[in-house]
Amino acid sequence: MTKRDYYEILGVSKDASVDEIKKAYRKLAMQFHPDQNPGNKEAEEKFKEAAEAYAVLSDADKRRNYDQFGHAGVGGAGGGGGFQFDPNQFADFQDIFGSFFGGGGIFGDIFGSGQRRRAGGAEQGSDLQYTLRVDFKEAVFGVEAKEIEIPRMEACDSCGGSGCESGTRPQACPQCRGNGQVAVRQGFIQMYVTCPRCEGRGQIIPSPCTNCRGEGRIHRRSKIKFKIPAGIDRGQRLRLNGEGESGRNGGGRGDLYVVFDVAGDPLYERDGFDLHRTFEVPWPILTLGGNLPIETLYGQDTLKIAPGTPGDKVVKIPNAGVPRLRGAGRGDLYLHLRVAVPQKLTPQQEQLVKELLETMISNGQAPEQPEGFLAKVFGSEKNRKKKKR
């Protein structure tokens, strides 16, 4: 039997969107679903065919292979029956059918099981996520023992997580005999559905613990201490194994993911492991050169300014940035120089600057100024007092 084209099966065009493919499949699946067509072999074939086409066309990689190589590109060498279902597809199938057929394990029998719930009652606890805002320096230097408080489900102290009143034990569910699922026959097809009595847990608790009402866990705010590594940045995630929620009925704990938010700093701007900051330098030092004391995150340092340094120069101080999370060393610190221009001068300073400007004008280093300009701009004591009147 030659295989039909997947696009043809679903009745969509070759450039159909994922949404169109999903819709087309859902329509066919409902039409040919075994529930709707008990004992109809042809409908069963159509149903399987549509499911297979959907499994390929809804997966970008497989679809690309199929478009390029046809059936040979997606398992089975062109012949019927060679197709293998990827168990990862299951989540998607359930997603699609959830609202139509009430979820459950309907595909357990058709496509090979794998989705059947583990019997025994215990369930793995869920993972939690917590956003933690730290200040700039906590992120740079790390924190040896940061304490946070999180609300989470924890194993019940009274029953130790079993959910049973002391002295009693859970019993295998009589309805599903501990399987968590019960088989339902629909004509030629056998389906498994979640056991309604134990809700899939496979066991029931005859006398529930009064503290947790049989859940095996209670809601609590807990304090957790952990180390923040030096160099973490905004948006990064730290996993704390086993600090998530406790599972039901004594199941293992999930993990806690701490996501960092880092506050800004008035002085530093962070770019990965490098830091940037502006640094004011009095203009005579830029002209003459000199040494300037500078306080970095790691202590006192000296910045050497060469004579004639441009006022917008960027100076790198190596290894004065943020510690690298993985690997050794730190990023660098970049100082963006800015000329500091004094707003107030003493009469003596004013006189000196005026003289400097005059020599610069006569040397051709500054443009000629209009008549009387210098007197107006800098003014003498006498002129200033006259103006005020």
Residues that bind Zn ion (CB under 5 A): 156, 158-159, 173, 175-176, 195, 197-198, 209, 211-212
In the complex, the smallest distance separating the C-beta of residue 176 from Zn ion, rounded to whole angstroms, is: 3
Residue number with CB closer to Zn ion (195 or 256) = 195
Q: Quick one: angle between helices 41-57 and 18-32, nearest 10? A: 160
Residues across the chain? 389
Residue number with CB closer to Zn ion (102 or 318) = 102
In the complex, the smallest distance separating the C-beta of residue 168 from Zn ion, rounded to whole angstroms, is: 11
CA atoms within 13 A on the CB side of 361: 13
CB atoms near residue 300 (< 10 Å):
8
Residue number with CB closer to Zn ion (126 or 168) = 168
Q: Quick one: angle between helices 89-101 and 18-32, nearest 10? A: 60
List the structure tokens of 346. Answer: 């003493």
In the complex, the smallest distance separating the C-beta of residue 67 from Zn ion, rounded to whole angstroms, is: 46
Residue number with CB closer to Zn ion (209 or 337) = 209
Residue number with CB closer to Zn ion (197 or 386) = 197
Residue number with CB closer to Zn ion (74 or 209) = 209
Residue number with CB closer to Zn ion (139 or 173) = 173
The whole-angstrom distance between residue 139's C-alpha and the CA centroid of its chain comes to: 18
In the complex, the smallest distance separating the C-beta of residue 161 from Zn ion, rounded to whole angstroms, is: 7
In the complex, the smallest distance separating the C-beta of residue 152 from Zn ion, rounded to whole angstroms, is: 16
In the complex, the smallest distance separating the C-beta of residue 245 from Zn ion, rounded to whole angstroms, is: 15
In the complex, the smallest distance separating the C-beta of residue 156 from Zn ion, rounded to whole angstroms, is: 3
